[in-house]
Amino acid sequence: MKSERRSELLFNVLMNGVAPIVAILIAFAIGGIVIISLGTNPLAFFSRMFSLNFGTLRGVSQMIYRATPYFFTAMALSFAFKAGLFNIGAEGQMFIGGLALAWVGFTFTWLPFPILFVLCLIAGFLGGALWGAIPGYLKVKRGAHEVITTIMLNFIAIALVQYLVQNHFMNPEWGIPHTPSVAEGAYAPSLDKIIPWFPSGTRANIMFLVAIILAGLTLVLLNRTKLGYEIRATGLNPNSAEYAGINISSRTVMTMAISGGFAGMATANFILGPGSHYFLKSEYGGIGFSGIAVGLLGRNNPLGIILAAILFGFLENGALGVQLYFPNVPRQIVEIMQAIILIVLVIVLELARKFLKRLQKRG
């Protein structure tokens, strides 16, 4: 009996602790080799990156700003995972949600803060939820696999958003297609307005706190509510869920909607936070796909995802800053590292699983 508890612990440590860390270390090692081949000292490179992020509160603040959207797109993947669904449509859900929240922000301009701000978030959630519910519905009603439909809906969303912005929301005189700016009532307060000792003038904003609150709420939802129980049951064993009288179809659609809703709020960080305050499609591309890596690296756990998102924010923010010091190393080095983290992670997880199985077999 004790050995069972020990093996459960070992499982958790290996799969949720060792595997992600090994993946990260290997990605840094490969990144380091690439940097050496460019004639740069990787230790100097990475330590500069580290001090840019953690050396000052300002750095931390910028890192948080970069990390925040990843949390949302990663949650989109991971929440769907809980119900056994593979939502790789965060990219499209993010665009639809983003346009929806921007629209509310520049349309209901007379509304004051925080009403407009909250309405914008709700609109973002609902836009993403709608875009997520479609593949859920198609799966339930017509058996269309959500992996393919979410991929296809990503591209449909991109084209749709482009069409709407260019033909309906845009002033033709602007060079780059973007929407009008949201009203002040929709602005997300920057973190220094809430946390007094935080440095001012960075873009880190309340959306980071919203992410942390949502992580907590998600844990409560999954583990303490009836709905969460049913979602997990559906994901772990649909046959048994059916036996238990759970309406699998409705849970599937609902899970996809909530999942899409998370992605729909991802761009609030950019649109409502300090900065341009309008929806600019080209600024967000890829965050949905990177969210897949973040979600898996966070082992599909909301708290793990916060850590993984911070790592991605660390890399991205560090890459932007470090260019001043090492101009011969393009900042895309971190994109390569992010991809390597993901691919190494899945391999290490399988190795860990095999190792545990062998251990179990030996008794």
Using the minimum distance from each CB to another protein, give the nearer residue, 188 or 230. Answer: 230
Using the minimum distance from each CB to another protein, give the nearer residue, 162 or 181: 162
Distances (CA, A) of 161 to 105, 280, 294, 344: 16, 10, 25, 34
Cβ neighbours around 334 below 10 Å, total: 21
Binding test (CB under 8 A) with another protein, winner from 153, 206, 207, 211: 153
CA distances from 283 to 190, 200, 210, 272 (A): 20, 23, 21, 14
Q: How far is the CB of 131 from another protein (least distance, A)?
A: 13
For residue 205, the cross-strand partners are 190
Print the binding letters for residues 65-94 with another protein: x by CB under 8 A, - otherwise: ---------------------x-x------
Q: How far is the CB of 225 from another protein (least distance, A)?
A: 5
The residues, any chain, with a CB within 8 Å of residue 62's CB and separated by 6 or more, are: 53, 202, 203, 204, 317, 321
Closest CA to 271 of 105, 75, 93: 105
Q: With respect to another protein, which residue has the nearer C-beta, 29 or 342?
A: 342
Query: Is residue 53 a contact residue for another protein (CB under 8 A)?
Result: no
Residues 23-42 that bind another protein (CB under 8 A): 38
56 vs 323 by CB, closer to another protein: 323
251: enclosing H helix or E strand = helix 248-264
Segment 165 to 184, residues that bind another protein, using CB under 8 A: 167
Q: Which residue of 12, 225, 250, 276 would you call a contact of another protein, by CB under 8 A?
A: 225
Question: Counting contacts by CB under 8 A, is residue 319 touching another protein?
Answer: no
Which residues in the 130-149 window bind another protein by CB under 8 A? Answer: 138, 141-145, 147-149
Q: Tell me the one-letter amino acid at 309.
A: A
By beta-carbon proximity to another protein, the closer residue of 226 and 324 is 226
Spatial neighbors of 243 by CB under 8 A, at least 6 apart, are: none
Tell whether residue 342 is a contact of another protein (CB under 8 A): yes
